Structures are given as C-alpha cells and as structure tokens.
Amino acid sequence: MGSLNPESSKAFSLCGYLWRIIRDMPKQSWAKTLEFARASKKLGQDDPRRIVHSLKVGLALTLVSFVYYLQPLYHSLGNSNAIWAVITVVVIMEFSVGATLGKGLNRIMATLLGAYLGFAVQWIANTSGDKWQAAKYEYGLTIFILTLSLVSVSGYREDKMLKMACDRVLTIILGSFIAMTVCIFIFPVWIGEDLHYLVASNIDKLGHFLQEFGERYFSSETEDGKPGNIDRSLKEKYESVLTSKTREETMANLARWEPSHGQFRFLHPWKQYLKIGNLTRQCANKIEALDFYLTSETHQTGYEVRMKIKESCQYISSECGKALKELSSEVKRMSSVSTSKDHIERAKEGVEMLNSVIESNPWEGFDVMDIVPAAAVASLLTNLVSAIETISQAVQQLVSMAHFRTTCPENSLFTMATSPASSANRIDVFWHEGMLKHDPGNGVFDSGMDPGFLDVLEKHPENSDRIRNMVSILQRGPISPYISWHLGSPALIPHLLSFHTHEYINALVQADKEGGRMLCGGTFLNPGSWDAALLAAGTTMSAMKHILDGHGKVSYALVRPPGHHAQPTQADGYCFLNNAGLAVQLALDSGCSKVAVIDIDVHYGNGTAQGFYHSNKVLTISLHMNHGSWGPSHPQNGSVDELGEGEGYGYNLNIPLPNGTGDKGYACAFNELVVPSIQKFEPDVIVLVIGQDSSAFDPNGRQCLTMEGYREIGQRVHRLSTRHCNGRLLIVQEGGYHVTYSAYCLHATLEGVLNLPSPLLEDPIAYYPEDETFSSHVIEAIKNYQKDKVPFWKAA
C-alpha cells in the first residue's frame, strides 16, 4: 500500500480535525447549555430579582419597539430618530428604581439642555455670517453632551434642525418613560430598601461576633489554655462591614431619586444611614482589634489571667452584642423599642464591675507581659460600649427623622394586656451568677454533719437551687415583662468598713485564704463563699445606688448568701456580710436623712438592728417568728423591749409573732404597727428585707404565709413608698428555703409591689386554713407597749 504525499496527509489531518469539531459540537453545545442553566439557577437562587429584572428589560424593549410598528408614530418621529427610544431603554434601564430614575431624569434633562444649547449655537452661527459659521471640527469640545453635538453640527437648516431636536427629545422621553414605568410598577427593586437592610445587617453582624467573642476568648478549649477560635464565617461578616463604605454611598445617592413607597418617604433621611454606617465601621475596627487578641500567636495570655476578668468581660461582650442586635432589629423593622437602651445600660454596669475588679488588683503576682493582652481586651470592651452607645444615638435620630413607629418589646412566652412603660411599673433586678458559687455543703439540715447511718444527706437549706428558681421565675414567669435585669458587682473592702469592723473583715479574708471554716452554727465559709459574699454586698449597694442616682424607683437585690443576721463584728445565721445594712449606710452617706427598714424574714433581722441600734436616722421594723436568742452568734432576743439605745431609742421596733400567724395576722400587724410607724417616721427611702421562710411550707419557719399574704405585703409597702418617699423602694433578698414555693412567693411579692390589678400566678398549694384570733391579741399587746415606750408614738 502506497504512502500519502505530504499535501494529502495535511488535507487528511485537517479533515479529521474538522470532523472532530463537528462530532463534538453537540456535546460541547449541551455542556455550554448546562453551564448556562446552572449559572442561571445560581443567579436565581442568590437573588431572584435579577431574573425578574432581565424579563423587565425584555418587556421594556418590546414596548419601545412599537415605535417602529406604529406607522403614525414612526413617521412623526422619523426613521433616524426612533432608534433613540430603544437606545434610551438600553442605557437607563438599571436594576433598581433609584438608578433607573436617576439615569432617566438626568438623560431627559441633559437632552433638553443639549438640544436648547445646540439650537442656540447654530442659530447664532447662521445669523452671524461666514465669520461665525460653525464647522464640524470646531465642536470637539462639546461632545460631553451628545445631543448638543448632533444638533449643532448637523448642518441642517434651522427649521429642520429644530424638528430634529424635538424628535430626539421626544424619543428619549418616550424611552425613559417606558423604562421608568416598567421599573417602578412591575416588581420594583428599591435601592433605598437595600441600603436600609444593608445598614441593619452590618449592625447585626457585629452583634453576632461580640456574643461569640466573650465565650471564645474566655474558654480553655485548647490544651495549652489558649482561647478558642471564632468561626471564619463570623470573621468574614465583620470584615465585610469594614469594606461597605463605597457600596453604602452609591446606594444612598441612588435612593435619593426614588419616590415615596411603603414606609419610605420621598426625601427619606438617607444621609443618616451613611452616618450610622460610618459609626458601625468604627465599631468594626474595635472588633477587629479584639479579634487580633483572640487569634494572635504572639499576644496571648494565660487562662488564669483571663479568668480574673472573665465574668465582667463576658457580660459586657454579651450585652453589647444584644444591644447591637436590638438596634439592628429596630432599623430593620422601622420600629422603636427600648430594649437596646437597657442592654447598653447593663453593659455600662459591666464596665463599672470590670473597673472595680481591676481596682482590686486581681493580677497580683502575675508577670506584667502576661497581663497586658488581657488588660488591652478589657480596655477595648470598655471603649466598645461608648461606640455602641453612639450608634444607638444615631439610630434614635433616624427613628425621629424617619418617623418610625413606637412598639412595645415582645415577650415570646406570655402575652400581656399592658407592657411596662416607665419606672413606675418596672422592677430593676440586680443579680450576678457568681453568687451561685457559694456552697455550704450537705448534711443533716444545716449542721453539715454526716451521722454515718443515713443513705441520703440533704443540701444545706441555703443552697443555690432556691435562688436558681427565683431567677428563672423572674426570667420566664408571667412577671418577666415587668423586670429589667442588671449585673451586680463585688464590693471592695473599703465599702464593707462602712458597716463592719476592720477586725471582722480581716478575719473573713484570712478564713478564705485558709480554705474556709465554719464561722458559727450552720454558717460555713467554704471555697467560693467569700467571692459570693462580696458580690452579694456589692450587688445590693449597686441596687441602692441605682435608686439614689434616679435611674429607677424600685430595685430588687436578688442576692445570696443572705445578710440580715451579720452583725458589725460577727457572722450569724448563714450570713457573712450585712447586705441591707451596707445599702442603708450608702443611702445615709449619699444624703438621705432617714431610711426605714421593714424586715419580713421569719427570723429577727438582728444584724441590721445592731448596726443602727444607736441611730435615730434609721427605723428598723422586724416582723419575725418569736424564736428568741439561739446562742453567742445571735444574742438578741428580738423581743419588743429591744428598742434601741441612746439617740436610737425607739427606732428599733420588733414585732415577734406567734407561730402560724398567717396572712390575716400579717395584714393586721402591718395595719396596726408598720403603717403608722412609717407615717410618723417619714423616710426618704424604704428597704424591704424579704424572706420567703415565713411561708406555709418553709422548712425553716412556721408562720404560714401564702402567696396571697406576700402579695398583700407587697401592695402595702408599695403604698407606703409611694406616699412617703416618692416611690423609692429597695428590696433585698434574705431567706426562703422551700426550693419551689419560695420562688412563687417571691413572684407574688413583686406582683404586689407593682400593684398589679390581678394575680399573674395562681397559688399551687391553694388555701391554707388559719386562725388569726391569737395573733391579733399579740399584735394588740405589742401596739399598746410601743405606744407606752416609743417616743414618737407617745408624741402622737
């Protein structure tokens, strides 16, 4: 078989190549079709409006093409000018209404101006003779307006030139009108709404990052104790905020052209969105610095160093995140709610707590280089609160300028007929979970003793479970819409010395350093107890300061360990520091001339009474079970003859009630003894010391109060505070050892303090029979004794 010559071989190869192209063409075409379909599907999934926009462009072009098919219109505009309508649609038809309107109106105005200038120049040139005759090359500088160039260099006579200018203007107006009509009335895309949601989304992204940051930075998930990493998706979100300036400015410029639609008015305050956007980026810069300390290999600090500021920093980070998310929600929903302000105030309280912790020098003994990164994080979080407050102020300005509607905060668990609108029907609850760390142990009741023959030992009565239920019932119970939460902070040693002696505080500090010990019967200072006691004292003082500073009328210090048995020189009855006594002294030091204390714990508030036993500035009233003294730690009897000494004589009123006094007996005691005493004393502020151990089912009391009795006490104290001290009332938690019923009784007490028209919770134990006959005789006897012995009673 002969071989092919070179020319034949080349031709054969070319034919083979062409055959392969033809053979593969259907396959490649199908692949391209599939690729296009996938791209179209992705585009539709990412933003379905893009697909709709392409259909709108097709519709607009179809409509404008009728210029060619309608003979009268075609002949009137001329065959050379009709194309301008089509070109106009192609040029100005944009994705959003604002962009289309901006281009369309600008094109119409530019065409009108260009036609006018072009006609004017041509007329001047024609009427000036050859000297001013326009030549085509003389108008190179005028091409910035196409119409001006076309009209002025067309060479037409004036009458034809005028017609050409009019035709061009009409075709462009026609094309612009069709494009703008389709864009506005058929599935419009409002660029202003996109800007609105972009700004809200950017704020929300920062909020998500901050809520995650607190948990990650103070975790110890890695073996070397370094903080955990934040998901890359969260980092990308805050990084996208940093690069959003150009996009926001472009959107704001286009949004100005949009007509009124929905809640967006014409001349909506779009510039305010740019201000909020700039403030959000400033906040993002601070967050980027925080992320640096989370991810940097060279600027890490040890786990123990971070733990010293963990609780306050986590709280600040969490509240800042919540505040940003609430602000985002306000912008997104175009409604104003007050919850973001609450979160910012709590973040500020966290800053105060952080400052208190730093002032106490928690890093003593640590290397300075280990401390610096943690201190930098604390400083950045502090600055972040100010930045978020500035964003909040800008959002509130937007609320006012854009006339956002005002709504009440939603509660996902309960629907209330009314929502709290002011401090008059709100209770500011001060709490810190660090107080749960106090563990008094297990044993036979409160003894801490294990006799060796019991299979099951019970928790100490003053265990954390009872407080956990109190917290949860206020967070998730029907009363939750009326509660505003605030973070407590630890007291410093100098604060404690306003009530307690140096020697006693030093003894407590030493006991803590030694690992703890039993201070007296049932009172155990264990590891973690001293920190919890400092938090309880500081949190109660913070609640009082909140009232004194005018931030609220009613504050509730939800604290443990309790305090009203702690005397200036010794511990007693589960109490280490006298929380209420410290708050009373703070009020006196802040300018209050008189403070009244009403203690309804089942046990005598001997520590508070002892602290002010010689003072006529503090009226202490204690309604308690007639239990007498229980040993060296509690030498007081709580009897009616313990009236105070010196200037304080007659300002310590004890109301020892018989066992089983019940709701009616307590109501009688209030009406006959408490109310008249408060009326005569006229305090500047009232401190209600509450213990649910007076309830019918408490293991540590026998007074048989029910939820209804506690509710009535709350109502009476509310009326007293409203009438005599402008509503200023501090409530301090003490005893209450039935793990569930104590929480119910607390709920009922606060319902009464709020003076709600009807109960929010039913008593799960229902009716408890009582006989007030004996207690009423006792109360009458106490009344007669006080009238005879108490100076301000006799003066009446």
**pLDDT computed for residue 100 by the predictor:** 76
Strands 517-520 and 523-525, sheet pairing = antiparallel
**How many helices (DSSP H) and strands (DSSP E) are in the chain?**
27, 14
- Distance CA(359)–CA(364), nearest Å, equals 11
CA distance linking residue 638 with residue 652, whole number of Å: 10
> How far is 343 from 345, CA to CA, in rounded Å?
5
pLDDT in tens, 734-753: 999 999 999 999 999 999 99
Ranges under pLDDT 70 in the chain:
1-14, 16-17, 24, 36-37, 39-47, 67-84, 107, 110-112, 114-165, 167-168, 214-234, 266, 293-306, 308, 336-339, 360, 362-370, 405-424, 766-769, 794-796
Q: What is the pLDDT of residue 690?
A: 98
pLDDT digits (tens, 9 = 90+) for 14-23: 676 677 777 7
Q: What is the pLDDT of residue 151?
A: 46
d(CA 796, CA 786): 12
Torsion from C-alpha of 238, 243, 248, 254, nearest 10 degrees: -140
| Top-level class of domain 191-406 | mainly alpha
Q: Single out the residue of 625, 697, 695 nearest to residue 655, CA to CA.
A: 625
Element (H, E) at 690: strand 685-690
Beta bridge partners of 428: 484, 555
Using a cut of 0.75, tell me whether the model's pTM lies above it.
no
Query: Chain centroid to CA 336: how far?
Result: 13
Which residues have a catalytic role annotated?
A: 565
pLDDT for 43 = 55
Degrees (nearest 5) of the Cα angle 430, 463, 221? 75
User: Which residues are within 8 A (CB) of 513 and not within 5 positions of it... i.e. 6 or more apart?
Assistant: none
Q: Of 303, 309, 283, 311, which is closest to residue 210 (Cα–Cα)?
A: 283
Contact 434, 311 (CB under 8 A): yes
Q: Please give the Cα distance from 444 to 449 (Å, whole number).
A: 6
pLDDT at 493: 85
- The Cα-based distances of 507 to 359, 573, 629 in angstroms read 22, 17, 24
Dihedral (CA of 94, 97, 99, 104) sign: positive
Token pair for 65: 């093409």
Distance of alpha carbon 327 from its chain centroid, rounded?
8
Q: Please provide the DSSP assignment of 222-277 as one string.
A: STT-PPPPPPHHHHHHHHHHHT-HHHHHHHHHHHTT---BTTB-TT--HHHHHHHH
Q: Compute the distance between CA of residue 156 and CA of residue 164 in angstroms, rounded to an integer.
A: 9
- The pLDDT score that the predictor gives to residue 412 is 34
pLDDT at 36: 66
Q: How far apart are CA 119 and CA 104, in angstroms?
A: 22
- Residue spans of the domains in the chain: they are 44-185, 191-406, 459-483+548-795
- Domain 459-483+548-795 top-level CATH class: alpha beta
